[in-house]
Homo-oligomer: A and B are copies of this chain.
Amino acid sequence: MNYELSKEAINIQSVIDKVVERDAGAITTFIGTVRELTHGKKTLYLVYEAYEAMAVKKLAQIGREIEERWSGAKVAITHRVGRLDITDIAVVIAVSTPHRADAYEANRYAIERIKEIVPIWKKEHWEDGEEWIGNQKETVAYPKGQPEEKDLHE
């Protein structure tokens, strides 16, 4: 249950509790919240939608990637789905590691990977319209219809 989607408000402490370890001195969290202004445009609220079964699998894959790359790391991720208002929490990533540098790097890796491979989409609602947001990383698209090779297999 370290990787979850939640229809309810995320309790930060409960995500952190999943990674507490007697031999881990450092825990980092990333908390993504709904921002009111993006490029000067005022968001009223957001809706997150997910391909739920696959999204949970991909979150777990990211956790395994981190545990392989940063020795002793423990990871928990909860992503919200449904309607969110300004300052609501969209995602909480908690990473514990024995040493602090790793806890920052591994956590950063998790959010970047979420934005690459986890099938979750955000629809922004403004006063004058709404739009599905995509390609947040502003990279090129996937001309082969898929992410890079490393993303394909768990």
Contact = CB atoms under 8 A, between A and B. Distances in A.
B100 A104 contact: no
Given A107-B28, A108-B104, A111-B100, A20 B33 contact: yes
A120 B117 CA distance: 43
A31 B92 CA distance: 14
B27 A31 contact: yes
Interface string A96-128: 001011011001100100000000000000000
B36 A32 contact: no
Interface of A: 12-13, 16, 20-37, 86-87, 98, 100-101, 103-104, 107-108, 111
Secondary structure call for the A interface: mixed
Contacts of A27: 29-33
A29 B37 CA distance: 23
Contacts of A33: 20, 24-27
A37 to B, nearest CB: 5
